[in-house]
Amino acid sequence: MQTKVLGSGCAICKKLRKLVEDAVKELGRDDEVIYVTDMMCFN
């Protein structure tokens, strides 16, 4: 499964990505966490 974190690349978005990665790991899942900062790819 993929989980996408969408953001502009700011510090808050980067922190959100880290929190999502930690949550996925804590749940024991092997989801791919993708960090998308290109506004044209938000689909």
The per-residue DSSP string of the chain comes to -EEEEE--S-HHHHHHHHHHHHHHHHTT--PEEEEE--GGG--
Q: What is the pLDDT of residue 43?
A: 61
pTM: 0.80
Q: How does pLDDT run across 1-43, given as a tens digit for each residue? A: 999 999 888 999 999 999 999 999 999 999 999 999 887 766 6
Q: What is the pLDDT of residue 38?
A: 85
Q: What is the pLDDT of residue 33?
A: 95
Q: What is the pLDDT of residue 22?
A: 97
The length of the chain in residues reads 43
**What's the gap between Cα 32 and its chain centre?**
9
Range of the domain at 21: 2-41
33: tokens are: 């966490």
**Most distant CA atoms of the chain, gap in Å:** 32
Number of domains making up the chain:
1
